[in-house]
Amino acid sequence: MSLRKPMIAGNWKMFKTQTEAAETARRLVSLVKDTRDVDVMVAPAFTALAGVAAEISGTPVTLGAQNLFWETEGAFTGEISPAMLVAVGCRYVIIGHSERRQYFGETDTGVNRKTAAAIDAGLVPVLCIGETASEREDDKTLPVLQRQLKKGLDGFTAEALASLVIAYEPVWAIGTGKAATADIAQSVHAAIRQWIETNFGNSLAKSIRILYGGSVKPNNVKELMSQPDIDGALVGGASLDAETFSQLICYK
C-alpha cells in the first residue's frame, strides 16, 4: 500500500454537454462529499469546465482539463492557454494522453513544452505515458516508457517536477476492457519510479504519484490500489457515471 495520498481522476473525454457534465458533477459531489483521504479530479470537455467548476466549488472534487497549448496567447485558432484553464478554476491538466498522440500527432517534444507551460502557470500536469499492444508484444514496454519520460521531462529539475503526476496508461488497455493485472501494473510502476530516482533523485521518486489507467473498474480497483507503487487511477469510461465513479473513489 502506497504512503502517498491516493488520487482518482476521471477523464470524461468527448462526452457530456454542459448540462450533462454539470448534472454528473452535482451527483458525484453528493456521493463523495465526505471523502478526504483520496484526491478526486474530473476533467470534462472545455465547454463544460465552467459549469462543472461551479458545481464542485468548495467540495473535495477538483477540476482538470484534458489538454492545453504551450503559448500564453496568440493567433492559435482552436487552442486553449494555461491561463484560460487557471481562470476557469482548473488545478490539473492531462498532457500527452495516448489518444492525443494517436489521433492528433502529439509528440514527446510537444508534451515537454506543454508540461513546462502548465508548471509555469501553476497547474499540476498529469503526464500520460504508455505502450501499444505491438510494442508490448515486442518486449519494448520499458524502452518506450523511458523514451517518453526522457523526452517529455527533458530540461526539468526535480524541484520543478515536485507537483507532477504520472499516469501509466497501456494503450492496449484503454477502453478495451483488458486491464493490466495488478502484478503487471505494479512491475511497470516500479520501473517508472526507478527511472525517476535514477534521473531526478530519491526524494522525487518517493513523493511522485504514479496513476494507472486502462479499464479500471469497481471489480479491479481495490487490487490495483493495494500495490505499493500504484498511487491512484486515471479513469475513462467508468468515470462517466457518478455512481460507478464514486465506487472507485471509495474503493477502501
Please give the Cα distance from 230 to 235 (Å, whole number). Answer: 14
Q: Is position 169 annotated as part of the catalytic site?
A: yes
Nearest to 188 by CA among 236, 129, 235: 129
71 is catalytic: no
**What contacts 232, CB < 8 A, 6 or more positions away?**
6, 7, 8, 9, 38, 39, 209, 211, 212, 225
Identify the active-site residue in 55, 106, 169, 189: 169
Q: How many CA atoms lie within 13 A of 125 on its CB side?
A: 28
Least Cα distance to 234 among 110, 68, 92, 45 occurs for: 92
Residue 234, SS3? strand
Which of 97, 99, 106, 189 is catalytic? The answer is 97
Sequence-separated (6 or more) residues with CB below 8 Å from residue 78: none
Strands 7-11 and 92-95: unpaired
- The catalytic site residues sit at 97, 169
